[in-house]
Amino acid sequence: MNRETKKYYVLLSGLLFFFFFTWSSSFSLISIWLNQKIGLKGTETGLIFSAMSIMALCAQPLYGFIQDKLGLRKHLLLFVGVLLLLTGPFFIYVYAPLLQSNLVVGALVGGVFVSLAFNAGIGALESYTERVSRIVGFEFGRARMWGSLGWASATFFAGFNYNINPNINFWIASASAAVFLLLLWQVRELKPNAMAGLEYGKPENLKLQDALALLRLPGFWALVVFVLGTSIYGVFDQQFPVYFASQFATHEEGNRMYGFLNSLQVFLEAGGMFLAPFLVNRLGIKQSLLLASSVMALRMFGSGFASGALMISAMKLLHAVELPILLVAMFKYITTRFDSRLSSTLYLVGFQFISQIVAGFLAPLAGYGYDRIGFADTYLLMGCAVAATTLISCFLLRGETVASAPQFQSTLKSSEPTQ
């Protein structure tokens, strides 16, 4: 790594660390906070998560197109950073009172804030980091590893802090966001033409019709089918802390132990992020995506059949295997099967956006299932859905043979000015 590459690697890794530290501080125990502090039941909590997902449906395509238009400029990340800074005051003085006085209004307002700051914000940051990593020459997975470490570091203390006062975690989130903004200020924007040698054409020549033309590509819809299944893991994880905490004699003990478990899982996930690029390069991109999806199905089936905190914990730790492989392989699939100029749009629409559609639809159904048939049986149904989409994706996803110019190049070239 030369000096310039190392500088970008350190700064972008730091941005990912403090973004996830902020997110984890405010969100790793959110289902417990909604259940124990606000007093919501499973179905009501599902509606809250559904509202967040629905709002993200609007934000993620917009963020993706804006970031693709901005190319290597930081304007969108600065906006996200300001929202992160407001996390503490928002949750304490706005969100909690609204949820207690008017659940619907609180869900809508919270959905807007969370989607703009976190659900769409992470996609913008990850796609920006991946794009810069290809230009300056480092592996995205090694930078993303620091995001996992940030989440784990915050989660390790979250259970302790929550038992003292839940508001402590929200103030820590805002303090972490201040460091995020300081690091972002230090990131020097690469020259706009730095992308010319890497991608097909200039990002400023992208038009909305170019992004919409993705909908005409069979390869895009094949990716969507795969993501429909893998995005179920987000619904699975939403109320898992409540299920895990219920395995212990008291809420306080359950909260504390979940903090330890989640922290261990994400520390292992960080190691997985370091190793994932080697594994994906060895197995191939398509095979890696299918492996991640298979592990995900196994985790859900295992959680449905497991009994006791120890076995449930073992199933939770499988997340540290599936997520690193999924993220690294997903970016490699997008940038090798499609035009790289649309990497942000493809990631935020083809992966994050579809994930939010699934979460918005399934979160209230999952909450109803938890209340009516229990967590275990609901997890088994989720596992069946993931297994089915994995099998279908074996035939739909494109293999390792890729054309010299990714799909969609000809469409984009039509929007470029002639010389």
Confidence band for 207, pLDDT divided at 50, 70 and 90: low
Per-residue confidence (pLDDT) for residue 405, from 0 to 100: 41
Report which listed range, 63-67, 111-115, 254-258, is most confident. Answer: 111-115
More confident residue, 73 or 291: 291
Contact 80, 122 (CB under 8 A): no
Higher pLDDT, 29 or 391: 391
- Cβ atoms 243, 375 nearer than 8 A: yes
Least confident range from 201-215, 355-369, 372-386: namely: 201-215
Q: Is the pLDDT of residue 416 over 50?
A: no
- The mean pLDDT of 163-186, rounded to a whole number, is 95
Q: Which residue type occupies 91? A: F
Q: Is the separation of the CB atoms in 66 and 76 below 8 Å?
A: yes
pLDDT-based confidence at residue 325 (cuts at 50, 70, 90)? very high
For the segment 38-58, the average pLDDT, to the nearest whole number, is 84
**Cα angle vertex 267, ends 261, 268, to 5°?**
90
Of the two residues 245 and 404, the one the predictor is more confident about is: 245
- The answer to whether 158 touches 25, Cβ cutoff 8 Å, is yes
Output phi, psi for 338, to 5 deg.
Answer: -135, 170
- Least confident among 121-135, 197-211, 249-263, 375-389: 197-211
- Distance (Å) of CA 126 to CA 20, 40, 145: 11, 32, 11
Which percentage of the chain shows pLDDT scores above 70?
86
**What does the pLDDT read at residue 345?**
65
Pairwise CA distance, residues 233 & 327, whole Å: 13
Average pLDDT over residues 392-413: 60
pLDDT, mean over the chain: 83
Q: Give first-to-last CA distance, the chain, whole Å.
A: 37
pLDDT value at position 411?
Answer: 41
- Tell me which fold the domain 3-398 belongs to: Growth Hormone; Chain: A; (1.20.1250)
Q: What is the DSSP letter of 82?
A: H
Length of the chain counted residue by residue = 419
pLDDT of 250 reads 83
For 204: left if phi > 0, alpha if psi spans -120 to 50, otherwise beta; the answer is: alpha
> How is residue 246 written in tokens?
């219920």
Instruction: Using pLDDT thresholds of 50, 70 and 90, give the confidence band for residue 294.
Output: very high
State the pLDDT at residue 249: 82
pTM metric for this prediction? 0.69
pLDDT at 201: 44
Tokens of residue 56, six digits:
């993200």
Write out the DSSP string of 83-128: HHHTHHHIIIIIIHHHHHH-HHHHHHHHHHHHIIIIITHHHHHHHH
* Separation in Å, CA 411 to CA 127, 204, 363: 22, 15, 37
Backbone angles phi, psi at 405, to 5 degrees: -115, 125
Whose tokens are 């997340």? That residue is 319
pLDDT at residue 200 tops 50: no
Cβ count near 3 (within 10 Å)? 6
Whole-Å CA distances, 65 to 70, 191, 221, 236, 413 = 9, 20, 18, 29, 17
